[in-house]
Structure 1
Amino acid sequence: MRVTLLYASAPRTVHEVELDLPDGATARDAVRAAGWPQRYPDTASPDEALSLAVWGRRCEPDQALRDGDRLELLRGLRVDPKVARRERFAGQGARGAGLFSKRRPNSKAGY
């Protein structure tokens, strides 16, 4: 059974390993077979455990894998995406982004 293991240690940096595992192997077995620790060394704190996902859907370490699965190690978010978007929007201004950036002359707001 072939499985691809991915981890993005930093922005624009992705580590990818192709693994040959026995049938019935779990996500935990795949991480161990790659030689990567469950807690990757460059996480924010040593207590922060990484999450696992198969094709972008979260899974438990004891979930069985299938041939061709793509297993991903997920880091925690550093910034809440909603807060980051609000801050970007405040910096651009209400009329500098999105639907309201280009208005037809003499039209109502949002058109």
Structure 2
Amino acid sequence: MQVEVAYARPDRQEIVPVNVPEGTTALEAAKLSGISDIFPEIDPDTIDMGVFGKVIKDPAAHELREGDRVELYRPLKIDPKQARLNRAKKKDQAQ
């Protein structure tokens, strides 16, 4: 079956098509895609993953379906709550 593995940095993004057997997990697809050869900073065993924007709790157990896109997520640089607070402070200072 055909699936895709995607990863993006601000300067570059890749979507790698992969032909995998039925029953392949998200983790296995990420490893088979060779995306860590393109982006050496990726460790498929520890990186957060999702399928079509929905986070997968256990990529090693999540079986894929035909046409799924496995997304590998970069760690957040700042907590979203803190980012909102920072924007609010900046907006208040501008007024």
Q: TM-score, normalised by structure 2?
A: 0.77
Q: How does 1:1-111 map to 2 (within 5 A)?
A: 1-8=1-8, 10-11=9-10, 13-37=12-36, 41-42=40-41, 49-59=46-56, 60=58, 61-93=60-92
Q: Hey, which of these two has a bigger chunk of helix by percent? A: 2
Q: Which has the higher contact order (CA 8 A, sep 6+)?
A: 2
Counterpart of 1:93 in 2: which secondary structure?
helix
RMSD (Å), alpha carbons: 2.4
Larger gyration radius, structure 1 or structure 2? 1
Give identity over the alignment, percent.
Answer: 33
Counterpart of 1:24 in 2: which secondary structure?
coil
* Structure 1 residues not aligned, in runs of 5+: 97-111
Q: For this pair of structures, how many residues does the alignment match?
A: 90
Q: What is the CA deviation profile of residues 38-90 of structure 1, one whole-angstrom value per residue up to 9, with x for unaligned ones?
A: xx6336xx8x9201111122222221100011111112211011111211221
Asked if the contact 2:2–2:20 (Cα under 8 Å) also holds between the matched residues in 1, the reply is yes
Deviation at 1:36, TM superposition (A): 3.1
Counterpart of 1:23 in 2: which secondary structure?
coil
Which residue of structure 2 aligns with residue 103 of structure 1?
none
* Structure 2 residues not aligned, in runs of 5+: none
